[in-house]
C-alpha cells in the first residue's frame, strides 16, 4: 500500500565517492536500516537543490528528499505490503 507521508525525519548518511548514502531512517519512533538505494535524482526548488532517494529495507520502500538549503530530510512516501 502506498502512503503519502510528507514528514520531517532523521536520516543517518555516509558520504562516499562524492555521493550521499542514506543508511538509517528514524520515523515514528522506529529505526529502519536502509538496505538498498533503488534510485536517486535531484531537482531545483527555487534556490534550494533537492536530492531525492528511493530506498528500501527488507519490507518497505521509502521516498526521501534532502533539501540542501534547509538541511532537512523529508519522508514523502512509504510503500509497504499489507
Rg (CA), the chain: 12
Burial of 57 (0-12, 13-18, 19+ CB in 10 A): middle
**pLDDT above 70 covers what percent of the chain?**
99
Task: Examine the pLDDT at 82 and tell me if it is beyond 70.
Answer: no
User: In which band, very low, low, confident or very high, does the pLDDT at 81 lie, cut at 50, 70 and 90?
Assistant: confident
For the chain, the structural domain boundaries read: 2-80
Q: What is the pTM of this model?
A: 0.92
Amino acid at each position: 500500500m502506498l502512503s503519502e507521508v510528507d514528514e520531517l525525519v532523521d536520516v543517518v548518511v555516509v558520504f562516499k565517492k562524492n555521493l550521499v548514502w542514506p543508511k538509517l531512517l528514524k520515523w515514528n519512533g522506529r529505526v529502519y536500516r536502509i538496505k538498498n538505494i533503488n534510485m536517486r535524482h535531484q531537482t531545483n526548488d527555487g534556490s534550494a537543490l533537492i536530492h531525492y532517494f528511493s530506498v528500501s529495507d527488507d519490507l518497505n520502500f521509502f521516498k526521501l528528499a534532502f533539501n540542501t538549503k534547509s538541511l532537512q530530510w523529508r519522508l514523502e512516501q512509504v510503500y509497504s505490503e499489507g
